[in-house]
Amino acid sequence: MDSSSASFHLPTSLEVCRIRSLPASAYYIANFISEEEEEIISRKVETAPKARWRQLTHRRLQTWPSDLVKDTLVDARPLPDWLEEPIVSRILSIPLSDGQKNIFASSPHGRPNHVLINEYPPNTGIMPHKDGSAYYPVVCTVSLGSSLCLNLYKSKEDGALDPNPVWRILQEPRSLLITTADLYSDYLHGIDPISTDVDISEQTIANWGLLRSPYLFQHGVNQRQTRISLTYRDVLKVSKLGNKLGPIFKRS
């Protein structure tokens, strides 16, 4: 498999795939990985050692290289190859706008060092939340398997959550969504625990003009199947102890 971006049609800059109807800033690349790459990565996720999975009430997840301890990455092993290639090199290959640096150029480690993998069977979601201060404020989400809507919420003046989402982003399989800046810090995001996303249209989906297959949603619905998301972030604090211990941990 050729993991370089040269043979793959990526946008020339993030600016060309910015979701213009949203506050600063979100970017959506519909065809970020190929079907073959999606298949290979999905298989790696599914066949990871059982101990890698953490079961929540409705959903299960994996963290690579490990969970954070007090907002710190204590296990400084590099990401495994299948999480690194082709996704990380492709993210780093795209300039913000022509001639500029990539989205992680100013982050402490210059690249994502942590990946959270969430699996969402139909009728599962994630409560509205913010991702918090452990990370450099850039989240790169690669979706596998199925489409679903990510909701964006505003906090009310009194800090309470306004339960109606202000925007919805439709994430198709093989897409990359990047959220950063105000959208990262000032808004919450969540996924409804439903089997079918409804009321999907050009008017209600913020990234409609950037979708790969808008015709699939012409009847306004998206029947969900199991969707897996990989969220790439740069954890700000990496423990020095972890760095020293790193080489003696076995890779799994």
Ligand X SMILES: O=C(O)CCC(=O)C(=O)O
Q: Can you give the binding site for Fe ion, defined by CB under 5 A?
A: 131
Least distance between Fe ion and beta carbon 129 (Å): 6
Q: In terms of CB distance, is 15 or 131 closer to Fe ion?
A: 131
Least distance between Fe ion and beta carbon 62 (Å): 15
116 binds ligand X per the rule CB under 6 A? yes
Q: How far is CA 203 from the centre of its chain?
A: 24
Selection from ligand X, Fe ion, none that 115 binds (CB < 5 to 8 A by kind) is: none
Site string for ligand X, 118-137 (x = CB under 6 A): x-------x----x------
DSSP characters over 31-97: -SS-HHHHHHHHHHHHTS-GGG-EE-SS-EEEEES--EETTEE---PPPPHHHHTTHHHHHHHS-SS
Residue 133's contacts (CB-CB under 8 Å, 6 or more residues apart) are 71, 236
Question: For residue 230, is it left (φ>0), alpha (ψ between -120 and 50) or beta?
Answer: beta
62 binds ligand X per the rule CB under 6 A? no
150 binds ligand X per the rule CB under 6 A? yes
H or E stretch at 244? helix 240-245
Least distance between ligand X and beta carbon 139 (Å): 7
Least distance between ligand X and beta carbon 162 (Å): 18
Site string for ligand X, 197-216 (x = CB under 6 A): --------------------
Size of the site for ligand X (CB under 6 A): 9
Footprint of ligand X on this chain (CB under 6 A)? Answer: 116, 118, 126, 131, 141, 150, 189, 229, 231
